[in-house]
Amino acid sequence: MNSTTEESVEAPRDGGNVPTAPASDTPSLARRSKRYQRRKMALGAAEWAVEMTALGAFFFSGGSAALREAVSRVFSAPPVVVLLYLIPVGAALGAISTVFGAVRTFWLDRQFGMSTQTAWSWAGDEVKAWLVGGLLWLAAIETLYALLRRFPDTWWLWASVAFSFFFVVLAHLAPILIFPLFFRFTQISDPEITGRLERLAAKAGRRIRGVYEVNLSRKTRAANAALVGFGRTRRILLADNLLDNFTLDEIEAVLAHEFAHHAHRHLPKAALIQTATFFLLFGGLHLVLDKTSGQWGLRGIGDVANLPLLVLAATVIGLAVLPATNAILRSYERAADAYALRAAARPEALCSALERLALLNLADKSPHPLIEWIFYSHPSISRRVEQARRILQRPAKGG
């Protein structure tokens, strides 16, 4: 679960008229949504296959060890060797991901009418994402190799602790420090909106410091609502697309779901799951490095030439634990929906918000169960609506 943004509600901006109910869900639209989601998934799988093949070829051909050798002939300081090794490797991986990103998030999204972004704006965002992502990855990898060199036997414990901490800090700071690089935030003063959301916050025992509109519509038809930050920085972010296309009852229902995650303390629980995942991941990587040290020209466990092997092994381990973590996250989503049905002024608005979400987001309402089981951190829309209807039909028992 992402601790900051939750519900992606993508909506066409058709002159700003607020529909009172989702348009009828036609079979052709369902087919179109399936086609869109399948293409997105196929492109994601192709990118993954290309990256894994490139990394595998680079490592097993001896190219990785040769690059480290060339760099360490000129520079001896290990952090510098890591940095100079990462520049060409990062550039090559970045180039692959930019090409696939252009096809997936620019070309495909335009084909299906999801993107509203110009090529220049898209390219500008790519450059910013490269800079921010590059610096974060550099810090993470330098830290990892510093730990590998300093604590060759226990590095995986330290790395798990360090990365868990890094993850929590980043999840909290990203909405405040990184999101504003890409979007503009404007405080909403309309008392009808802020009043309802503040009442919702009070019900969940949380105080919010402001409701902000985010100008998402300049880039995408996507709409989003999120409850971000903590303490003095806790605020609600509402996409302009959401404000334009959803009724206030629906917005309140979507936010009630977000407050549910806070009321049920899902964020610290998700952070604990993430920590457990890091321990499994780095513990597994330690076994791999232990078994392969000295092979393929590697010079011990802290040799940056083993990075492609680490990435390949991390991908396998990550994929193995994904169904388990996603199963837990889906249970949190079910609980949040149930809470939203109790907390929202008009609970049935949750159903129409979810339907609208599926309709406008071109979401596959009923994905293949296996795909849902492995990759979905939220239950499919059809399951969520089904649960909501079931709860709404139940006779009220109080609470």
Which of the ranges 2-10, 33-41, 113-121, 214-222 carries the binding residues for Zn ion, by CB under 5 A?
Answer: 2-10
Q: Which residues on neighbouring strands pair with residue 187, listed in sequence order? A: 212
Structure tokens at 272: 């604990």
**CA-wise closest residue to 10 among 287, 394, 381:** 381
CB nearer to Zn ion: pick between 7 and 213: 7
As a whole number of angstroms, the distance between CA 340 and CA 74 comes to 60
Q: Site residues for Zn ion, window 60-79 (CB under 5 A)? A: none
Q: Is the dihedral of CA 169, 175, 176, 177 positive or negative?
A: positive
CB nearer to Zn ion: pick between 3 and 220: 3
Q: Site residues for Zn ion, window 245-264 (CB under 5 A)? A: none
CB nearer to Zn ion: pick between 219 and 330: 330
What would the DSSP string read from start to end of 245-295? Answer: HS-HHHHHHHHHHHHHHHHTTHHHHHHHHHHHHHHHHHHHHHHHHHHHTTS
CA 245 → CA 171, 205, 299, 343, 357, distances in Å? 28, 29, 58, 22, 10
Which of the ranges 139-147, 333-341, 352-360, 389-397 carries the binding residues for Zn ion, by CB under 5 A?
Answer: 333-341
CB nearer to Zn ion: pick between 303 and 333: 333
CB nearer to Zn ion: pick between 68 and 257: 257
Nearest residue to Zn ion, using CB?
6
Write down the least CB distance from residue 7 to Zn ion, Å: 6
Which of the ranges 63-71, 87-95, 155-163, 328-336 carries the binding residues for Zn ion, by CB under 5 A?
Answer: 328-336
Write down the least CB distance from residue 304 to Zn ion, Å: 38
Which of the ranges 6-14, 108-116, 188-196, 315-323 carries the binding residues for Zn ion, by CB under 5 A?
Answer: 6-14
Judged by CB under 5 A, the residue of 3, 6, 156, 353 near Zn ion is 6
Write down the least CB distance from residue 133 to Zn ion, Å: 25
Q: Is 337 in the site for Zn ion (CB under 5 A)?
A: no
CB nearer to Zn ion: pick between 293 and 377: 377
Which of the ranges 82-90, 205-213, 214-222, 329-337 carries the binding residues for Zn ion, by CB under 5 A?
Answer: 329-337
Buried b (16+ CB within 10 A) or exposed e, 285-316: bbebbeeebeebbbeebbbbbbbbbbbbbeee
* H-helix segments, the chain: 27-60, 63-74, 78-101, 109-111, 119-150, 155-173, 179-182, 191-203, 240-245, 248-263, 266-292, 307-343, 348-361, 369-375, 381-393
Which of the ranges 93-101, 130-138, 218-226, 326-334 carries the binding residues for Zn ion, by CB under 5 A?
Answer: 326-334
Write down the least CB distance from residue 267 to Zn ion, Å: 11
Task: Tell me, residue by residue from 349 to 388, as one string, x for binding to Zn ion by CB under 5 A and - for no binding.
Answer: ----------------------------------------
Write down the least CB distance from residue 266 to Zn ion, Å: 8
| Cβ–Cβ under 8 Å, residues 254 and 344 | no
Write down the least CB distance from residue 392 to Zn ion, Å: 19
Helix/strand/coil for 366: coil
Helix/strand/coil for 180: helix
State the Rg of the chain over Cα.
Answer: 23
As a whole number of angstroms, the distance between CA 66 and CA 116 comes to 45
Q: CA 46, 47, 48, 49: dihedral to nearest 10 degrees?
A: 50
> If binding means CB under 5 A, how many residues of this protein chain bind Zn ion?
3
CB nearer to Zn ion: pick between 302 and 367: 367
Chain residues binding Zn ion by CB under 5 A are: 6, 333, 336
